[in-house]
Each structure stands twice: as structure tokens, then as C-alpha cells.
Structure 1
Amino acid sequence: MTLSARPLRARIHLDAILHNYRLAKACAPSARALAVVKANAYGHGAVRVAQALAPEADGFAVACVGEALELRESGICNPILLLEGVFSPDEITLADRAALAMVVHCPQQLDWVLAARPARPLQCWIKIDSGMHRVGFAPGDFQQAYARLSACPHLGLVVAMTHFARADEPEHPYTLVQLDAFGRALGSLEIPCSLANSAAILAWPQAHRDWIRPGIMLYGASPFADAGAGAAELLPAMTLESALISIRELGPGDPVGYAGRFVCDRPMRVGVAAVGYADGYPRHAKDGTPIAVNGRLSRVIGRVSMDMMTLDLTDIEHAHLGDRVELWGRTLAATDVARWSDTIAYQLFTGISRRVPLVYEHG
């Protein structure tokens, strides 16, 4: 027996991801670029995204060994960096076998690297905490850590790196504070450097240096509160879409959905789309969150439930069962949906659940 599938799907536009990678490279033409494909390429499918980028990518960045090995097993031969480094000495053996570069961000990881006996020189990126205050060597401790690392006989490439806390706020001076702290930590050392995430690639050219790390911009979402600083040229890489499965006429005073959060204030046509929070759409989306039906903008009304959500069709003429509903994508920016849901596009993308099929497209 053939079972019919729900009409929900996430269309992944691979050409858009390639365009966005090229845009990152164009912003920093003298730098090489690691495409960040951690968290299953921000929900877009790490293997397929990496395969699409592999002919041009200078390398990839992932969070952990497991994510890196998935790429290696799929045939990806480009350099791969472990952004959190290794979590035990045993993982250095795995990294060595798979030719993975690793971040070193604490004395314990440094000791593990120095005690290792790899078959080939290890590639290490040593992280400086320039003000993010998550991980990394304090600026005053960097020189000693670097000296120990660079004296190690089984070390190859060493890159100094940091991460910005407020680069997505182009008017805020804290990024300049971090740039200064990074520069003081390096002192007179002349080694390859990597500072720029997506926001810094677009808004802080002084941070480009030798390696950039485009992440959210690869997937077509702006890292900023608005589309400024070059983000307007990004192309959305995911279109999350479903279809209308119910349409009904309601009158003034009729409640909609759980707890009756929305109450009709006039005669209304209310549609139901086959998508809910179990698919990754935010349950806390407010009434008025934008949504598109047949390419026309409308609004979410009522509380999002597990498998369904309700929307206003009153001003959408000729809407019928089966008509296309876009949750975000080329008509509607994911950042706009995120803003109405008190979250960020990163969480929308990475929250897509496994029951949503990813459909890959070129063009």
C-alpha cells in the first residue's frame, strides 16, 4: 500500500548556497574561506551542501569529529576544521586518520596535542579569547601557549583565531575592542589569522585577514537586524513550504486554536496549513507573524500546534485546498519570521525536524 506524504517539505537551493559562498569570497578577495557546515549545515544537509561546494571551497568547518567523519565518508576531501577541537585524547587519533585540523582553545587540549604521536603533522588553530569569554586562551596567555605549540615537532600549520561577540552590530564599538585585544595578544608574531564570521565578513573588512568563516550567510540569512552591510545580496537557500488542508468561514467572536488566543473581530476565512512545531516551526510565533499563500503575504493567527497552524485567508482571494503555503524562503525572509517569534534564523533552520523532507534543487 502506498501512503500519501504530507505536503510539507524544505526545498534546498544549492545554487543559492554557492552564490552566497562566492559573495563571501568576493567580500574578502585575499582570504581563503572555510564554509561552516556544522549542525547539519544549519539544517540544510551537511553532505549535500558540502558536495555542492567542494569544487570551490577552500575548506569546511564543523563542530566535532562526528560531523567531520560524515563528510569524509561521503567523499569530501577538502580541509576540515573542528571548531571545538577534540573532546578527548583518543579523538586526536581519529582526527589524524581523517586529516582534520583542530582548534586548540584550552591548556588541556594543548597538552593532548603535545602528547600525541600522529602519523602526519597536526594542523592546529589556536583560539584567543578576545572578549567573547566562552573558550580560548586569555590574551596574556597566548604567547606561552603558542610557543609550546609551535615548538612541537609533529605540528604543521598553526593559525591564530578568535570569535566576535557583537560583529552583527556594525555600530557597536566592541568589535574594535576585540580586534585590539587580538592584535595585542599576537604582538609581533606573523602567523595566519582567522577572525571573521558572517557578520564580520560583511561589515568589518579590517577583520578579514587570512581565513574567513562564512556561516549563516551561506544559507541566505542576514546576520544583522536589517539587511544592510551587503546582506541584501544574499540568496535564501531554504524554502519551507506546505499546503492548505482546510478552509472555513468564521464569524466575529469565534476563537481560533488552542486556548482561543486569537478571536475573530470580523467575518473571516481561516486556513489550516500542514505544518507545526513538531516540524520545527516555532510554537511561540505571535499572531501576525508573516506567512505567504500562493506568493501573497498574510498572517499567522492562533497558537501553532504540533502538526498544524492556522492563518488568515480573508484577504487572499481564490485560496483553495492544496494551495501552496510558504513559511519562509524566497517570498518571505526567515529573519522576518524569526523576529516575530523572538528568535533568530539560525534556530529556525537548525530546528527543522527529521520528518521534514529536504528536496535539493539547482537553480
Structure 2
Amino acid sequence: MPRPIYAEINTANIKSNFEIIRGVNSGQKMWSVVKANAYGHGISNIWRHLNSTDGFALLDLNEALLLRKEGWTGKILLLEGFFEHTDLEIIDEHQLTFAVHSDWQIDALRNYHFANKVDVYLKVNSGMNRLGFTPFEIGNVLNKLRRIPYINSVTLMSHFANADTREGVIEPMMTIDNLHTPENVEHCLANSAALLWHRDTHRNWVRPGIILYGASPSGNWADIADTGLKPVMSLKSKIIAIQHLKKGDAVGYGGNFRATNNQTIGVVACGYADGYFRTSREGTPVLVDGVRTGLVGRVSMDMLTVDLTSCPSACINSDVELWGEHLPVDVVANAAGTIGYELLTALAPRVTVRVI
């Protein structure tokens, strides 16, 4: 019998989330972001359930080629562009759209003879200070790109550092609106947070990422609880052992938890080698047979332990939800000192994935 831990991917929920997001924007075209193997959900598991999207956005050429191999013939955007001159051959063959954020990339484009016209996303550094050209450079760079005969269109793209706050896009949008560029240049600006909370950023293309998977861009589940978005991944396991502690008995490595009274503890087949964070604190919520309880003791490589006081009927093989449809990943992540993005993308390869 295989170890009783698995991630369940609910395709009905990702379809529903996609339609909700379609309803939030104002008719803009949509890149569905599937970077990091679809935020840990598996590109192969989800792309067909998003095939009414206008395009897929990702980072890795191998993931782009996977989409092509599996039958997606539509648009694919490489969010960080290309990393080597030799990547252009693959980009040309598979007709990929890509970001340009550095001078060396422009030089590479000038020196490569494309067989097909290509669409380019010009990255504007509007305050994030990661990738992109400064606002003062954009006009000149845009002119350079437009003089390259193989380039079909140039779209301005930027990314917001603080779109999950009320005032977070004001300065970046002022920067973008003050650019000296032709009026007919399309914009792709809105990430998940901006799409939900800053309608003025929507422009021509939007780029939903984490909200497709039913988690919050702010890291706070309450911020999206009334949107209808639903978690797509549920991490599930079983109780594999039960321990009856006496007052003073310790649990786990280091013995940092000790029972203050007689206490029943459940051992769950899940640990940090499965992607569950070792930093998760005592009390991090867990569902056992649908009843909310919490961690006790340290998370180890293959197991963790939970307090069964609130679920006295729990037994060997009782169902456990570590996060998912009934326990949002953002809630668990907060208790672990991280964000839902990190838990979802940290799912370990050894965890079986079931698509429903």
C-alpha cells in the first residue's frame, strides 16, 4: 500500500476560478500564469481546464515546450524573456512571445534572423527594481525594438510590488502614464492583486496567477473569502498512529512540546520532505475528520503530530487535511510564517497527485 499522503487537484474549482476572474476584468485579454509548474499544481494537470484563456505565461522554456507537446497551439509568454542567445532558435520554432528587459537581449535580437514574426513584451521598471528598463530609457528602447524587422508588436509590461495595498499602485501607475510612448502601444500590467483591487491597471492584458489556484495574493485568506474563489489543491493524509500521553510527556525531536495533562496525539504521514514546512508553529491548524485541531511538537521529515483532544473519535486511518478546500492554504501558511505561494510550490515530487 502506498504511503497515505496525496495532493488532490480539483479541476472544477480552477474552471470556476477562471470564470470568476473573467468576470472581474473588463473584457481584457488574459494570460493565465502557470509558472513554477502551475504553482505546484502541475501544468499537465490544469492547462486543459484553462484552454479558453488567451494565453499562458511562464518562465521556463521546458514548460513552454511541454505545453506545445501536449497540444496547446495558442500564445505563450516567457515572463523573464530568454537567458541565452541560443534560446531564440526555440522561441522562433515554437512562436513564443517573450519579455525584453536588458540591452544584451536587444543586441541578440538584432543579430538573429527569425523565420517567423515575434511579439515582444518590453519590461518597464516602475519601482520594483528587479527587471526592466527605467522610464527614461523606454522611449529609446521602444524605438530600437520597432526598427528590428522581425518584431511584429511591442507591448509594455510592468509588475507591481505593492498591489495588495490600497495605495500600492499609485506611484507605479503615474510612472507608466507619464511614459513618452505612442498611444497605440498595448499595456500588460495587472497581476492577481491589481486585477482584484485596482481596476485602473487592467488596460489591455491581465496576468492572474495565484488567484487562479484559489489563494490570496496578499497572503490573507480573508481578503478573497467573499470572491467565490476556491482552493484547487488539497493536501491530504491519514492518521497512522495514536499516542496517549501523560502529563509531562514530550513529543517529537527536541521535546519542545510537553503535555500539560493526559493527552491523545495523532501521528500524520506528512513531513517537511513532502513540502510541509518545518517552521510551522504549535497550533498550526489541521483538519482531522473535518474537525479543526492543531500541530504539537516539531514537524519531522516524514511525520507530524496533532492534538486529538477536540476530535476524540479520531482513529487510525482518520482523514487529515493539511490545507485545501476546507482549510485555506493561506491560513496554514500564516501559522508557518510564510505565504500560500511558497507552500503550494514546495509540494514535493514524492507526493502522489490525484486529479478530480
TMscore range, shorter length: over 0.9
User: Given the alignment, which residue of 40, 43, 50 partners 2:40?
Assistant: 43
Give, in angstroms, the shift of residue 189 of structure 1.
3.2
Query: Equivalent residue of 1:126, what SS?
Result: strand
Does 1:223 find its partner at 2:220?
no
Q: Is the 8 A contact 1:124 1:158 kept in 2?
A: yes
**Matching residue of 1:290:** 285
**Alignment correspondent of 2:111:** 115
Displacement of 1:230 after TM fit? Answer: 7.1
* CA displacement at 1:114 relative to structure 2: 2.2
**Is the 1:202–1:230 contact (alpha carbons within 8 Å) kept by the matching residues of 2?**
no
Separation of aligned partners in 2, 1:352 and 1:313: 25
Conserved 8 A contact 1:43-1:351? yes
Change (3 A) 1:68 1:338: same
- C-alpha contact 1:127 1:161 (8 A) present in aligned 2: yes
Of 323, 332, 336 in structure 2, the residue corresponding to residue 328 of structure 1 is: 323
Which of 201, 210, 214 is 2:208 aligned to? Answer: 214
331, 337, 340: which is aligned to 1:342? 337
Q: 1:186 deviation in Å?
A: 4.4
Q: Does 1:266 align with 2:264?
A: no
> Could you say what secondary structure the match of 1:89 adopts?
coil
Secondary structure in 2 aligned to 1:240?
strand
Is residue 2:250 matched to residue 1:249? no
Unaligned runs of 5+ in 2: none
Deviation at 1:12, TM superposition (A): 0.2
Aligned counterparts of 2:11 and 2:296: Cα–Cα separation in 1: 32
- Deviation track 1:124-180 (CA, whole Å, cap 9, x = no partner) reads 0001000000000100000000011112211112110100000112x2x23110011
Deviation at 1:207, TM superposition (A): 0.4
After TM superposition, the score normalised by the length of structure 2 is 0.97
Q: Root-mean-square deviation (CA), in Å? A: 1.2
Indicate whether 1:104 and 2:104 are aligned. Answer: no
**Amino acid across the alignment from 2:283:** G
Contact preservation (8 Å) 1:59, 1:78: yes
Query: How far apart are residue 65 of structure 1 and its match?
Result: 1.3
Structure-1 residue corresponding to 2:127: 131
Rounded to whole Å, the distance in 2 between the matches of 1:5 and 1:318 is: 25
The counterpart of 1:86, out of the listed 63, 66, 82, is 82
Change (3 A) 1:134 1:231: farther
Once the two structures are superposed, residues 263-297 of structure 1 have per-residue CA deviations (whole angstroms, 9 ceiling, x without a partner) of 11111110000000000000110000000001110
Which shifted more, 222-231 or 185-194? Answer: 222-231
Q: Does 1:299 align with 2:294?
A: yes
Check conservation: 2:125, 2:135, Cα contact below 8 A: yes
SS in 2 for 1:340: helix
Would the aligned equivalents of 1:106 and 1:136 in 2 still touch at CA under 8 Å? yes
> Take 2:140 and 2:60, find their aligned partners in 1: how far apart are those partners?
26
Task: Letter of the 1:122 partner, please give it.
Answer: V
Distance 1:331 1:354 in 2: 23
Q: TM-score normalized by structure 1?
A: 0.95
1:184 to partner: Cα distance: 1.3
**% same residue:** 38
Measured in 2, the distance between the counterparts of 1:174 and 1:29 equals 21
Cα deviation, residue 48, structure 1: 2.1
Deviation at 1:231, TM superposition (A): 6.0
Which residue does the alignment assign to 1:197?
191
Q: Establish whether residue 310 from structure 1 lines up as the match of residue 297 from structure 2.
A: no
Consecutive unaligned residues in structure 1, runs of 5 or more: none
Q: How many residues align?
A: 355
Secondary structure in structure 2 of the residue aligned to 1:206: helix
Give 2:348's match in structure 1, choosing from 342, 349, 353. 353
Give yes or no for contact 1:240–1:329 (8 Å, CA) kept in 2. Answer: yes
Q: What is the aligned partner in structure 2 of residue 157 from structure 1?
A: 153
Distance 1:358 1:327 in 2: 14
State the alpha-carbon separation in 1 of the partners of residues 241 and 348 from structure 2. Answer: 23
| Residues 64, 86 of structure 1: 8 Å contact kept | no
In structure 2, what is the Cα distance between the partners aligned to 1:208 and 1:322? 48
Distance between the aligned counterparts of 2:180 and 2:192, measured in 1?
23
For 1:183 and 1:260, locate their aligned partners in 2 and report how far apart those are by CA, in whole Å: 58
In 1, the alpha carbon distance for the partners of 2:183 and 2:136 equals: 14
Q: Which moved more, 1:214-223 or 1:68-77?
A: 68-77
Contact 1:64–1:85 (CA under 8 A) maintained in structure 2: no
CA distance in 1, matches of 2:235, 2:8: 6
* Mapped contact 1:246–1:271 kept (Cα < 8 A): yes
Query: 1:167 & 1:231 partners in 2: Cα distance?
Result: 19
Letter of the 2:97 partner, please give it.
A
Task: Give the AA of the match of 1:19.
Answer: S
Q: Report which stretch shifted further, 260-269 or 181-190.
A: 181-190
- Any idea what the Cα deviations from partners look like across 1:108-134, whole Å, max 9, x if unmatched? 111112222111101100010000000
